[in-house]
Amino acid sequence: MPQMLAAVLALGGVIVAGWAMVANDPLGGEPMAVVSTRLEGSGDTAGNPGDGREKAHRDGPGSGAVAKIPDAGKTPDGAKTVTIIDGSSGKRQEVVIPGTGTPDSADKAMAKAIAVKGPDGKPAATPAKPDARPDAKPDIKADFDPAKLSEKIRYGAIPKIGPDGAKPFAAFAQARTLPPALKDRPRIAIILTGMGISASGTADAFSLPASATFALAPYAVDVARLAERARDEGHELLLQTPMEPFEYPDNDPGPQTLLTSLTPDQNIDRLHWLMSRMQGYVGVVSFMGARFLTAESALAPVLSETAKRGLIFVDGGASQRSVAGQLAAARNMAFAKADIVIDAVPTPVEIERALARLEIVAREGGTAVGIANAQPGTITRVAEWMAKVESRGFVLVPISMIVAKSKST
């Protein structure tokens, strides 16, 4: 029996080795999933030629719902008829989307009408949009044309100074209206970084007053929609910009990180990719970047490009040897620097000590900027502090009001 078992094992080994040599499957053994790429009515399979007029919209994975939107369903007033087909049961439902006279408006209405279904075939829950808080400043979209403050590049739309000289920094600022009694108080700005990375931290951050500035991570899921919600609730936005730390690449801020080893053109190209991820921000804030912020030859072109596009630059405080302040002053650009990293040591006691130091800086210099990660534990402490700090003689403001105060001083 041992000899027979050995012979069987040897034969199996020979068969496997032979198959590996003959088969051309470089992904053999890797997990895989097979999906159909045929769209209903696309005419890419026999027996279903299609007329080229249908568009198919498929929900996310596992939804099994297809919406067919034939162009013939349009009416003169821009209305459309949508046929929603449940992939699991085959049930059809005709929905008429009323128009407003323009095809664009009908398309927008249709996007809202197609319900996203979950794996169970039922409509997926959509989180309700919270109402703006009392201290939120109304959006200023009606005051300017956003299209004039952006330009299209290969990655998408990025900010630019408008034809009339309007800057995105000023247009998208959400400054608080301060009564005379508060105008001379020390000002404190709180910046929360990493918005969109931690789901729980991001959700908790929206409980903070509108004076809190949100720095959105460019890698966040649906970052454009997150930016829109934050602006609707009165928060000023910064684009979190990854920059090279000393430990790179062992400590990697993420894709498209600005590096000292790249040419200025390469870094500007990466900066443009980052800028295209969302709209409506007042400036950029460095993420990590202890090495990059000390390299004048690498940082100078980035600051010039930021100033050229009408944005502010916020030094995240990663390095005490940063040259960002000097370079920004030489370009006469709006600039701010984080005075205190609130959760450098993310324990409740150390966070409270950092907030106390932030008050000292504000009282001595008239302004102070605190920066922290959008993590639940940090936000809990910051929220408690923000609820009481103004009673101690300070005023909480968005980052644009710190910049303006610093320049006027």
Confidence label for 31 from pLDDT (cuts 50, 70 and 90): low
- Tens of pLDDT along 252-281? 999 999 999 999 999 999 999 999 999 999
- Based on its alpha-carbon atoms, the radius of gyration of the chain, rounded to whole angstroms, reads 27
Residue 29, pLDDT > 90, answer no
Sequence-distant (≥ 6) Cβ neighbours of residue 391 within 8 angstroms: none
State how beta strands 340-341 and 335-337 pair: unpaired
DSSP label at 132?
A: P
What CATH number does the domain located at 141-408 have? 3.20.20.370
Residue 304, pLDDT > 60, answer yes
Confidence label for 109 from pLDDT (cuts 50, 70 and 90): very low
Sequence-distant (≥ 6) Cβ neighbours of residue 47 within 8 angstroms: none
Pair 40, 92: CB distance under 8 Å: no
DSSP label at 133?
A: P
Q: Among 71-75, 125-129, 373-377, which is the least confidently predicted range?
A: 125-129
372 DSSP β-pair partners: 192
Residue 239, pLDDT > 70, answer yes
Q: How many residues does the chain have?
A: 409
**Of residues 337, 266, 278, the one with CA closest to residue 305:** 266
DSSP label at 339?
A: S
State how beta strands 92-97 and 312-315 pair: unpaired
Confidence (pTM): 0.66
Whose structure tokens read 């324990």? 347
Q: Report d(CA 45, CA 207) in Å as an integer.
A: 52
Hey, how many other C-beta atoms are within 10 angstroms of the C-beta on 336? 28
Q: Among 80-94, 302-316, 336-350, which is the least confidently predicted range?
A: 80-94
Confidence label for 345 from pLDDT (cuts 50, 70 and 90): very high
